[in-house]
Chains A and B, each alone.
Chain A
């Protein structure tokens, strides 16, 4: 064995350092002026910068990821914000992994809502679809075994949900006092939460079972509501949530289930359960083309019924995802959510993207809300239907 070979080998396992990021410009146009006349601007301009820095050492066994983001918004001071999506060290072994820092995890299988995904707080000012999440302080231990994967979390600090300011669009007519949260726990946002998840793949089945114990990521906005001023202080109760998520992948079909049982410590609240059931079917080579069309249907039910503060209490989601499979990776996702108890509560969205240059994508987003019943969760958005065009530039 020559020295050269040894040198070559050590070079191959040398520490790697990489970084990349993107900057996105977005322009929104609202179809209506707001009836409460807080804000009659129909345009909203926004820019977002995201970076990711990665470093590893110890032959790749130790990694560090830093993922900051900053947004500047023309209309909403609350939406102009910064966050560390990730700031986390991990030690990787073949059968286990230990991480500490600010992290992001995703649990679940469904598309229209994510019932079981409760580790990270929603960054609601980013988008009302709830897909954007704040970095969560955590110590996480994963153990990988043939009999399944165990994922254990200690979550020492709580992060309250972000809300648009009342004077801005998509604020649901409700003024949410920022930095003024009330907690059931006397330890407030220092309450230490725990979570445990077991997941396993068995043939066509992907199974996940989880327990979360701690501060609910979903605030109660009604408990401390002041009707006179239409402002509220978010109240965060203590919960224990049991979750299950199952996906069956067979042929061109995906069958999905998510279910949770949420128990409250505070007798003010009734325990409840909620489910999402769904199916997705993909047509490959639509009508002799290279297009793929995925069709999705998901039904959600919450046993609190109309009292539910969540938007999906008895709702049907229908969606279609069209992938053109062209060199620009053009894609469109269309969705419709219908409240089965209220035929006048509907929302429609369309998200599309295509690459217009090597490192630039053009994105379109359209959201349309229909709601006439003031008790409807969507009512506050009835004047906020919008179309958004975005340009995103990627660099490294």
Chain B
């Protein structure tokens, strides 16, 4: 009996070693990325209230409040609509974006003072989102096809164990040479990302905190902090009042109806 147990243990270890040897770091990285996406599949639609706190090197702060609506699109990137409430000089401005797995996203801006909807060029993905330390590409939806992956190592992250995975953006217009992400092994949630710019210097670090479970399946974080090591500025995103199944559909993400957004 003891022998048998021992034997099966050896066999099991042997199998694991064989499997691991079979799997290149690229395979393992891709497998983790697919698992992240798979575990988040089927969230449908959601709405949130978002506060963005921009902080410069001298500690001055600007708080921006906005409301977001998001729609999952099967087989492509998600759709998002953001309406700004503060600062008051941009109140009522609405930003609509259709992110795509391949190619540029589609983006429109509604300018309330002129009652004008403008389609804007989306090659600005590496540019800052409204003066924050988040680039447009940092806020677009996670799609497996947007990067190639390399598993680097296992590492403790707080009380959890994390996979550390390098992600190399496929898009040549991305502002990054590579990203390094810490993903917990229990639920495949991203806890930290280091961003390396085109010169491969460590530009920014994103930390993600306060994960909560929604609909028994989907993990969403309350807080994201992006610190820019180059300029000393940081941006906090706090998300409140996350609601799923709010009845949103394609008709709520129509550029022709952007003037209605409130």
Using CB atoms and an 8 Å cutoff, list the residues of chain A in contact with chain B.
Answer: 16, 20, 22, 52, 54, 56, 63, 90, 92, 94-95, 97, 104-106, 131, 142, 144, 149, 199, 201, 206, 247, 249-254, 280, 282, 284-285, 290, 292, 324-329, 355, 358-359, 361, 392, 394-396
Contacts and interface: CB of A to CB of B under 8 A. Distances in A.
Contact of A329 (B114, B117, B131, B256): B131
B54 interface: yes
A250 B173 CA distance: 13
Given A92-B260, A201-B255, A285-B175, A327 B123 contact: no
Contact of B126 (A90, A247, A250, A284): A284
B62 interface: yes
A5 to B, nearest CB: 13
Contact of B251 (A94, A250, A253): A94
Contact size class for B? 35 or more
A285 B126 contact: yes
Contact of B87 (A131, A149, A358): A358
Interface of A is mostly: strand
B62 A361 contact: no
Interface of B: 54, 56, 60, 62, 87-92, 104, 106, 114-117, 119-124, 126-128, 130-131, 173, 175, 231, 251, 254-257, 260, 262
A22 B87 CA distance: 12
Given A131-B114, A250-B104, 19 more contacts: A52-B92, A54-B262, A92-B260, A95-B251, A253-B121, A282-B121, A284-B126, A290-B127, A290-B128, A290-B231, A292-B127, A327-B62, A355-B62, A355-B89, A359-B89, A361-B89, A394-B88, A395-B88, A396-B91
Nearest to B123: A252
Contacts of B121: 249, 251-254, 280, 282
A252 B120 CA distance: 9
A343 to B, nearest CB: 32
B119 A206 contact: yes
Contacts of B173: 251
30 contacts: A16-B262, A20-B88, A20-B91, A22-B88, A22-B89, A106-B114, A144-B251, A201-B255, A249-B120, A249-B122, A251-B104, A254-B119, A280-B121, A284-B127, A285-B127, A290-B128, A292-B124, A325-B127, A326-B131, A327-B56, A327-B131, A329-B87, A329-B131, A355-B62, A355-B89, A358-B62, A359-B87, A392-B89, A395-B88, A396-B91
